[in-house]
Structure 1
Amino acid sequence: MADYRYINNKGVIVPDTAALRKEVEDEFRTVFGQSINLSPETPQGVLATMEIENRDAIVRNNAELANQINPDIAGGIFLDAIWALMGGERINATHSYLSNVEFMGVPGTIIPKGSQALTINGAVFETLTSLIIADTGKITGDMRAKEYGPITCGIGQLNKVASSVLGWEKVNNTTHAIIGRYAESDIKARRRRKQTLAKNTISVAQAITSSLYELAGVNSLSFRENFTDKTLTIDGIYLLPHSIYVCVEGGDSHEIANVLLRTKTIGAAFNGDIEINLLEPASGQAYPVKFSRPKEVTIFCKVTVKKSSFDAQTIIPDALEKWSHGEIEGDNGLVVGRDVSPFEISAAVNAVEPHLFVTKVELSTDGKNWHVALIPIAINQIARLPKGAIQVVMV
């Protein structure tokens, strides 16, 4: 049987299958005699090869299963179980919701729960309860997207009745949809587990960032601390004496403020352009909690690749979209304060499709002036790389 060994610097268990073929062939010769012909083209050779492949599959499966004890490699329910030991959990998928949707038609018409309407893009929304159209010919109610994920619907874009409900004639949404999300992927879950290791502590920098990353909707952040008794400018940010500065992407502002008040060191001041007044339950004292939101910097990207049989015009924009969202293993994506590097963009393309030969990556902040240098991003900024801002040039 194959041996198992560790890759010491990573703690990964890998099977050593080098001796499997010799092992199986020796067994065949012991049973059928030393003169048996085990060439791959013979029937007995095919049987021996099949046995080798079966054993190889088993030992590789065992190695993969053994690796699930390592939280840096684990996935699926194994990762969920390890994370649960620390009180953490994966962010579940949610639906998009529409509130105060107008349903119009014949008065007295009953619109059953689960009745459907379509957006101009074909997304399906369904009613959450049964509705009865009032004497005015209209009733308002809430709807939910049928599928999980970030399904968008702007004002007035829900305009087609999809269910056959006699008397229900029109539908219209007067508000934007509250956007849902997909379930957190293994890649993002493993990353967030590391980012929240200190969520049960307070006062230190990792405790503050861990508790912030635990909040729903928080994607990235930057943190700085002035531990001196003098006013300092750190990375371009003005910090009061003995104070902290946090710039947070995503999340509810009041939840962020509550976390900062709970986890920061007693006596430390806040910095930032957003101020939320909170009452400390233990003392009854009011605190003006400050933090910042990142300013978005739109990046334009031009990728030059050699012609090949691969559909580079589709692969590259998709790859860079995944990269910017942090969906490539080993890379956090475009987070708060991260510079944009042409070399990292090239690496992201090759991580998704190694057969594409990238010859040059050019960047721009206005879509006119292009260069191959790194674009610096301040700690109170975040780079955005829209899919429509990516050009692919074939040479």
Structure 2
Amino acid sequence: MAIKFGLTNRGYIAPTFAEWLDDIEDDFRSRFGDDIVITSNSNFGILARIFAWRLTEISQQMEYVYNSGFYSTAMDSALDRLGSNIGIFRKVARPAHTDIKIQTDGEYLVQAGEQFETDDGIVFDLTQDVVTTQDKDGNWFGTGPLESEETGAMNNVEANTIVNLSDPDENVLAVTNPEKVSDGQDDEDDETFRQRLIMENSAKPGPTENGIKSALYNLVGVRDVSIVPNDTDHVDMYGNLPESVHIYILGGNKQDIADTLVNRLPAGCVLNGSQVVDTVDVSGNKKTIKFDFATDKPIFVKVNVRTNDAWNVDSGATDIKQQVAQFISRLEMGQTVFLTKLYPIVYDINGVEEATVEIGTSKDNLSGNDVPIDLFEAPSCDVANIEVVVDG
């Protein structure tokens, strides 16, 4: 066969089915004569197509094996194995955790296993018994740890949204979560994991900016990191102290973040931030770490499409939602959500003839304009925030 395939000095070549078929048909003619019948319903034609299909499958599998050796092209379990080689593992879906503040009518025991929920029906379980005590104003309060019943980032609800007792109790007057929930986590997809591996390979965790980012990205629930230095001798426009650093983090547990930063930051580093967490360094010395959580900026999208015969009624709308949500959620902190960048994603779905897209920060405030994102905000988009209207 004259066709080139496999490893070459320019990488791996995997011929297409049409290329294999042309090559096999040429080979048959050279061996059996130019007058043989090689149409699709002839004996030679059927054999040629069987050989071409099998060779296509084999060469594609060989290409997959070749690509599995590189961060930029490996997928699924191959990417996991590359990560394990350097001690980095794919993040798996985890439940969210927070504290619940409970007010009762007198001293009262709220037992572990009691369930609390948001108005949207996101359920959290109390993991330890809580006994309320009286404060100086004569009110009875107690605080206990919660864990979301399900895994995933959808459980990262805002502060003061877990306000319902699933099984009402007349002794419980009120409940709430004083702080935003931030450590719920979805299964990490290939592209996000790939970027972490590339960063880890180029910047090992350490006192450099990229090294600090690398260490933080490896924490459960952390989705984005921004480090803002103030190299001047005066307070900057953000209120940061002279010769200091302000670290903004989207997601994660604040104690995990502090424990990581205390051993990654350079000596004498001055930190800014409203999150103040005590931790201990490797020498056993108590340290105070400051940082801030970035603001999650949910984006809402409405897509109107006119379709043709290639449109898949069962999965077309879902594909649009998933692709758009994935693109927006991968934008970095402070990146504007450009409307024009969503159109190629929509038109890439089979069967989309024409499309109009509107975006905004709420489902009631959509327009055909870009959505600017502040420096310390991170855009995100859930498939539930996307509406697809189909006009066949």
TM-score, scaled to structure 2: 0.69
Taking the aligned partners of 2:63 and 2:273, their CA distance within structure 1 comes to 49
Give unmatched runs, 5+ long, in structure 1.
Answer: 104-120, 124-141, 160-173
Taking the aligned partners of 2:186 and 2:296, their CA distance within structure 1 comes to 23
Which of 360, 365, 376 matches 2:356?
360
Q: 1:63 to 1:3 in 2, by over 3 A?
A: farther
Match of 1:248 in 2: 249
Map 1:1-395 to 2 at 5 A.
Answer: 1=1, 2-4=3-5, 13-16=12-15, 20-29=20-29, 32-94=32-94, 100-101=112-113, 182-197=186-201, 200-233=204-237, 237-282=238-283, 284=285, 286-308=286-308, 310=311, 315-316=316-317, 319-324=320-325, 326=326, 333-351=330-348, 353-393=349-389
Match of 2:137 in 1: none
Report the residue type matching 1:245 in the other structure. Answer: H
Report the residue type matching 2:378 in the other structure. Answer: I
More deviation, 238-247/312-321? 312-321
Taking the aligned partners of 1:298 and 1:335, their CA distance within structure 2 comes to 13
Question: What are the superposed Cα offsets for residues 344-395 of structure 1, whole Å, 9 maximum, x if unpaired?
Answer: 23233334x1432454322333555543222111122233445454344556
Report the residue type matching 1:62 in the other structure. Answer: M
| SS of aligned partner of 1:267 | coil
Taking the aligned partners of 1:311 and 1:40, their CA distance within structure 2 comes to 29
Report the residue type matching 1:267 in the other structure. Answer: G
| SS of aligned partner of 1:3 | coil
Taking the aligned partners of 2:25 and 2:385, their CA distance within structure 1 comes to 58
Whether the aligned pair in 2 keeps the contact of 1:218 and 1:251 (CA below 8 Å) is: yes
Taking the aligned partners of 1:56 and 1:315, their CA distance within structure 2 comes to 28
| SS of aligned partner of 2:239 | strand
Taking the aligned partners of 1:273 and 1:144, their CA distance within structure 2 comes to 26
Match of 1:106 in 2: none
Whether the aligned pair in 1 keeps the contact of 2:76 and 2:190 (CA below 8 Å) is: yes
Whether the aligned pair in 1 keeps the contact of 2:316 and 2:350 (CA below 8 Å) is: no
Whether the aligned pair in 2 keeps the contact of 1:218 and 1:249 (CA below 8 Å) is: yes
Taking the aligned partners of 1:181 and 1:280, their CA distance within structure 2 comes to 27
Taking the aligned partners of 1:37 and 1:314, their CA distance within structure 2 comes to 42
| SS of aligned partner of 1:80 | helix
Report the residue type matching 1:348 in the other structure. Answer: I
Q: 1:77 to 1:33 in 2, by over 3 A?
A: same
Taking the aligned partners of 1:7 and 1:250, their CA distance within structure 2 comes to 45
Taking the aligned partners of 2:76 and 2:21, their CA distance within structure 1 comes to 33
Taking the aligned partners of 1:191 and 1:77, their CA distance within structure 2 comes to 16
TM-superposed CA distance for 1:43, in Å, is 2.1
Report the residue type matching 1:14 in the other structure. Answer: I
Taking the aligned partners of 1:27 and 1:343, their CA distance within structure 2 comes to 49
Taking the aligned partners of 2:61 and 2:366, their CA distance within structure 1 comes to 48
| SS of aligned partner of 1:196 | helix
Taking the aligned partners of 1:245 and 1:179, their CA distance within structure 2 comes to 21
TM-score, scaled to structure 1: 0.69
Give unmatched runs, 5+ long, in structure 2.
Answer: 98-110, 123-145, 156-161, 169-174
| SS of aligned partner of 1:83 | helix
Taking the aligned partners of 1:367 and 1:182, their CA distance within structure 2 comes to 24
The sequence identity of aligned pairs, in percent, is 23
Whether the aligned pair in 2 keeps the contact of 1:14 and 1:63 (CA below 8 Å) is: yes
Matched residue count: 339
Taking the aligned partners of 1:12 and 1:265, their CA distance within structure 2 comes to 42
Taking the aligned partners of 2:221 and 2:261, their CA distance within structure 1 comes to 16
Whether the aligned pair in 2 keeps the contact of 1:299 and 1:363 (CA below 8 Å) is: yes
Question: What are the superposed Cα offsets for residues 15-62 of structure 1, whole Å, 9 maximum, x if unpaired?
Answer: 245753344234434654554222222122211221122222222221
Match of 1:118 in 2: none
Taking the aligned partners of 1:356 and 1:272, their CA distance within structure 2 comes to 47
Report the residue type matching 2:377 in the other structure. Answer: Q
| SS of aligned partner of 1:48 | helix
Report the residue type matching 2:281 in the other structure. Answer: E
Report the residue type matching 1:299 in the other structure. Answer: I
Taking the aligned partners of 1:53 and 1:314, their CA distance within structure 2 comes to 28
Taking the aligned partners of 2:63 and 2:57, their CA distance within structure 1 comes to 10
Taking the aligned partners of 2:283 and 2:366, their CA distance within structure 1 comes to 55
Report the residue type matching 1:209 in the other structure. Answer: K
Whether the aligned pair in 1 keeps the contact of 2:274 and 2:290 (CA below 8 Å) is: yes
TM-superposed CA distance for 1:252, in Å, is 0.9
| SS of aligned partner of 1:297 | strand
Whether the aligned pair in 1 keeps the contact of 2:71 and 2:82 (CA below 8 Å) is: yes
Q: Could you say what the CA RMSD is over the residues aligned between the two structures, in angstroms? A: 4.5
Taking the aligned partners of 2:318 and 2:58, their CA distance within structure 1 comes to 38
Taking the aligned partners of 2:235 and 2:203, their CA distance within structure 1 comes to 29
Whether the aligned pair in 2 keeps the contact of 1:312 and 1:392 (CA below 8 Å) is: no
